[in-house]
Structures are given as structure tokens and as C-alpha cells.
Amino acid sequence: MSLAGIRAVLFDLDGTLVHSEAVAARAVEDVFGRFGMRLQPTLAELVTGKTWTAALQELEQHVSLPLPREEFLDLIIEEYRIRLKTEVHPVPGGVEAITQLAPRYKLGLVSGSYREEILFALNKLQVIHHFGLILGAEDYLNSKPEPDGYLKALQLFGLQPQEAIVFEDSEPGIRSAIAAGCKVVLVRHCSSIRAGSPWIKQVHAQIDTLEGVTPDWIQRNFN
């Protein structure tokens, strides 16, 4: 694939640009704790890489909710948004990578978070103006690992899958991007993907952080 063939870079948000997956898990554990329920950490981690609705539906397969789903979800989202303001930190190199890639490529973001959370995070990083496209949980039908979000981003940008590179951190995100036909870079900083996941072998590149991700880096790795 030539550099000229790459026209867009698509980012996940949580666990890729900001270290927030663990914050989401703590929010889930906290809300269950209010009802005297101790949630196993492995169950709380089911929120990783998915929309809140999809995550809660999966949780219900393992534990009974103390309230109707929508009421309980509202409590979790409220707690997460409170924690988001103080507990979420950028993944190293993310701001610099976005700044350097923006003049060369179309930049898009495809997240399972709601738009309110996305806009808060991107404004905190002061990079929101670099993104030509932002898709949150409200903007596509099926949560990752389904490809809906990335397929919609490609459609809106008017691109073919081979023209985009995706930066992801989680198994659902990797599966989603690969199903959409995109090249995928795994960002390992937040340790969002379980060790031994077969999907690690399916990615096209792996990096610890976003430090050093530049147009030249894309040329070296995807040319």
C-alpha cells in the first residue's frame, strides 16, 4: 500500500487517546456498590470498547440489576461523567500525533461514548478542531465489535476501507475496524485487551503509546 493510498486516520477515544477505560469500570463498580453489590473486576471490565447500552446488556447476562436497565444506566453515566472531569488523563503522544497528522490526513473519531463525553475529552486535549468527523454512540446502530461505526465514518468521508488506518486499544474495537476492512494499529498503553487475545495477532501494527506517530511513521509502516 502506498502512502498516497492512505487518506484518513480514524481514532477510538477511550483507551486510545485518553486513559478512561479503567475510570468507566470504577464507575460501574461504584454504582453497584451503592446497592450493596460487589461486582467482580472482570465483570466491570466488560464495559471496555463498547457503548454503555451494549455493555450493560452484556453485564445483565452475569448479574441482576438492582433497578430497571435505563434507570441504572443513568446512574452509571452520571458517575462516569463526574469522574471524567478529574480522573481521565491523555495517552502519551496523542495530542502531538493528532497535530502532526491533521495537515496530511482526514481525521475522524469513532467512539462508544456519548457525544457529551467525547466533546469534553477532545476539548480537554484541545484537539477537537482537528477532527473532520466525530461519531459517538448516538450516531450508529450497533456497538463495537460490529463494524457500523467505522463503516459510517468511511461512508461520510467518501473513502474505501483500504484508504483508512484505525488506532484502537480493545478487542471489540479491533474486531470492529477489521470487520470494516481497515488497517488497525493496537495502542497498548492502557492494557485494555486481555493477554492472549487472538485478535492481537490480527492487527497490522502495535505501539505502546502514540509517541512518534507521524506521517513518516505511517509511510514506514504502511507503505
Q: Which residue matches cell numbers 477515544?
A: 13
Mean pLDDT calculated for residue range 32-50:
87
Domains and their CATH numbers in the chain: 3-19+89-222 (3.40.50.1000), 21-87 (1.10.150)
**What's the confidence (pLDDT) of residue 132?**
98
What single-letter DSSP state applies at residue 132? Answer: S
Tens of pLDDT, residue by residue over 135-149, are: 999 999 999 999 999
Query: In terms of pLDDT, which residue wins out, 169 or 44?
Result: 169
The residues, any chain, with a CB within 8 Å of residue 218's CB and separated by 6 or more, are 3, 6, 9, 101, 165
Mean pLDDT calculated for residue range 21-49:
88
DSSP secondary structure, 63-89, as one string:
S--SS-HHHHHHHHHHHHHHHHHHH-E
d(CA 119, CA 219) in angstroms, rounded, equals 30
- pLDDT at residue 1 tops 50: no
Tens of pLDDT, residue by residue over 58-86, are: 999 999 999 999 999 999 999 999 999 89
Q: How confident is the model at residue 2 (pLDDT cuts 50, 70, 90)?
A: very low
Mapped onto helix, strand or coil, the DSSP state of residue 18 is: strand
Tens of pLDDT, residue by residue over 186-212, are: 999 998 998 899 999 999 999 999 999
Q: How confident is the model at residue 40 (pLDDT cuts 50, 70, 90)?
A: confident
**Cα-Cα-Cα-Cα dihedral sign, residues 8, 108, 161, 217:** positive
User: In angstroms, how far is CA 150 from the centroid of its own chain?
Assistant: 11
- Weakest mean pLDDT among 25-29, 107-111, 126-130, 166-170: 25-29
What's at 143, amino acid-wise?
S
Mean pLDDT calculated for residue range 164-173:
96
Mean pLDDT calculated for residue range 27-38:
94
**What's the confidence (pLDDT) of residue 4?**
46
Tens of pLDDT, residue by residue over 110-164, are: 999 999 999 999 999 999 999 999 999 999 999 999 999 999 999 999 999 999 9
d(CA 37, CA 67) in angstroms, rounded, equals 12
203 closest CA partner among 181, 160, 174: 174
Query: Around Cβ 77, how many Cβ atoms within 10 Å?
Result: 19
Decide the pairing of beta strands 18-19 and 89-90: antiparallel
User: What percent of the chain lies above the pLDDT cut of 90?
Assistant: 84
The residues, any chain, with a CB within 8 Å of residue 68's CB and separated by 6 or more, are none
User: In angstroms, how far is CA 85 from the centroid of its own chain?
Assistant: 18
Q: How confident is the model at residue 223 (pLDDT cuts 50, 70, 90)?
A: low
Mean of the per-residue pLDDT values for the chain? 93
DSSP secondary structure, 156-170, as one string:
HHT--GGGEEEEE-S
First to last CA, the chain: 5
